[in-house]
Structures are given as C-alpha cells and as structure tokens.
Amino acid sequence: MNRRAFLQRTGGLATLAGLAGCLGTTSDSPPGDDAETDETTTGAADDSTTTERFSGVRSDHGEPFRTISVGSRDAVAFPDNNRPREIRVWNAADEARDIDLQISRDAEILVDRTVEFAADAYLEVALNEPADHSVSVGLADGNATTFGVERTSFDCNSAGTDVGVMPDGRVETMSMSTAMGCPRPKVAGTDLSVGQGTCGKEHSASVAFEDEAVRVDGTVRTPTPDSGLELADAAYDAETGALTLRVRATGSDNDGGGVGVQCVGEVPYEATIGFDHGWSSSVVVVHDSMDETTEVTRVERGSA
C-alpha cells in the first residue's frame, strides 16, 4: 500500500484495564478521507528487548476490512476547517486476534466493542465531530492503551493516528498530519434588528455561537423608549481572536407627530455577525448611549 510523509513526532501514553465487548452507538460506512502526520507512542510491553520503531500501518491488505463512523458531519460548522480525523487499527500479527476498541467523548462512551481481526488486517475509524476524544485499544485478553485525539487537531489539514497491536501485545501509535496553514476566521456580514423600546434602565446582552455566526440579543439603556440604535462597529482582531461588537443609541425615532413616552428607556435588539472559516474565540459587547460607553458582557467561546 502507498505510504505517506511523516512530519513530526511526540510521545506519551497511559495504559488502562481491558475493555468490555459490547456495541456502541456508531455505524459502519465506506472508508473516509486519508490522513498525514507523525507522532509515535508505545504502550506497555511484555519484555525489555529492543524492538523496531513503529512506523504506521504496514498491512499487505490494500483496504480496511471495516470502517466505523463516529458522530455526524451534518451539524459541523465550517466543515472545511474542521475535517474528520482518521484512526487506523492494525493487527500486526500473522494470526487472527480479537482486539478491544473503546472511544469516548465528554465522558460518553461512543464505541465499546471487541472486533475479530484477521492476520495483518486493519480497520478505520472516522471521528466526524470536532471534540476531545479518548481512544483505548488492546488485545481482548490483555491490557489496553489509551490516547487522546484533541479538539485542536480538527482543522483544515488531513490528519489521523495509526495504531499497531504488535505480535507481543504491545500497542503503539503514530499520529500524522499535513502542515497546511488554515485560513483564519473573518467577518462575512452583519445585521441588526431593533425592537420596540419600553421604560427601563438596564443594559443587557447574551451571546450565542450558531449557524456559522455570532448572535447577540441585548437591550440598550436609552434616553427614551423611542430612541434608535445602530451597529456602530463589529471589529474582529485576528491576533487575539476577539470580536468587539459596538451598538450605539441614536436620536429618537419619534417623527414629531405625537408625544413620546417620557422615561428612560430600554431598546431591544438582535445583532448577527456572520463568519467565514471559523468563529471568533471571544466576543465583547459594548453599548454607547447617554454619553457613556459600557462594556456589557465578555464571553469566551468555550463558555458560551
């Protein structure tokens, strides 16, 4: 089979107890995209003899005998910048063996099964949803080795991990990735909808990251309930990853044909900032009103 260029190496794994053999919530599907990067790690060995360094799947089989698809691509935002991650598990022995595979995400077990591998056979796993994953592999009658696939590895590059279950039961891994620079997020469009004002004295704002956009629902404290609002700025700082959204109160929307309500007002709004390539990592919402500038909220994407 064709081999791939390896670009970098890291190490470090922990060993876990053997895995149960029940079926998780996954589906079998055709093989996914190919991948390329390099990191090598080694699980527990039965002896201290020197062995050849693991260099990825070297199966004589040209195709995996099974592909397991974990999660769905349907709801993945910015899919070109959040490509799936591939794991290939190889029985690197000249005899058939049962191998345990477990995959979890956010403490939820997604795959938990024992798979019968023919000699020299390998299977593929496609991790479709960007998130931190924990993967454990080992012989069914032995210990397992666990390693992580981090959320940060889901980007525009082709990437994956080769896992070899060696003849002596050791589990070794090598992670691979291309090194293409990924496009940074950028503002693609803005929209502001202003609602009907009421009497009140509070600034407020809530932030949501959804549908490849940042949505802010807020209210601005204004001189009167019929004051207008405008989106004064939606500035994205590519270096810090911060989006600063500035909503400004304008003059009264009362056209002079009637008497307006005489009270300090709260005017609601919904602002939508569309993005290309990815969301901002944080959002700062600022209101300019009544000769004051007020930072209403500051939200990190991880906490939104």
Q: What average pLDDT does range 200-228 have in this prediction? A: 96
Looking at the predicted structure, is the pLDDT value of residue 7 above 60? no
Q: State the pLDDT at residue 181.
A: 93
Shortest CA distance to 124 belongs to which of 65, 56, 58, 54? 65
Compute the C-alpha angle 152/157/159, nearest 5°: 75
Please provide residue 47's backbone torsions phi and psi, each rounded to the nearest 5 degrees: -150, 175
pTM confidence score: 0.73
pLDDT at 84 over 50: yes
Amino acid in the structure at residue 207: V
**What is the tens place of the pLDDT at every residue in 200-212?**
999 999 999 999 9
Per-residue model confidence (pLDDT) at position 23: 32
- Tally Cβ neighbours within 10 Å of residue 217: 16
For β-strands 122-127 and 27-28, DSSP reports them as unpaired
CA atoms lying within 13 Å on the CB side of residue 151 = 7
Residue 260, pLDDT > 50, answer yes
Distances (CA, A) of 181 to 44, 64, 151, 240: 35, 30, 17, 17
b/e for 275-302, b at 16 or more Cβ within 10 A?
bebbbbebbbbbbbbeeeeeebbebebe
Pairwise CA distance, residues 55 & 175, whole Å: 10
Cβ neighbour number for residue 148 with a 10 Å cutoff: 15
**Phi and psi, residue 134, nearest 5°:** -115, 130
pLDDT digits (tens, 9 = 90+) for 105-138: 998 999 999 999 999 999 999 999 999 999 999 9
Short-list 17, 233, 27, CA closest to 144? 17
Sign of CA dihedral 63, 69, 73, 79: negative
**Amino acid 6: pLDDT:** 31
> What pLDDT band is residue 231 in, cutting at 50, 70 and 90?
very high
Checking if the pLDDT of 263 tops 50, the result is yes
Kindly indicate whether the domain formed by 14-177 is annotated with CATH number 2.60.40: yes
What average pLDDT does the segment 151-160 reach?
95
Q: What pLDDT, in 10s, does the model give residues 239-254?
A: 999 999 999 999 876 5
What is the per-residue pLDDT for 42? Answer: 57
Mean confidence (pLDDT) of the chain: 85
Confidence at residue 235, expressed as pLDDT on a 0 to 100 scale: 97
Contacts of 71 (CB under 8 A, 6+ apart): 105, 110, 127, 128, 129
Report domain extents, the chain: 14-177, 186-303
Q: What is the pLDDT of residues 37-78, one digit of tens each?
A: 455 555 544 444 445 689 999 999 999 999 999 999 999 999
Short-list 260, 248, 264, CA closest to 296: 248
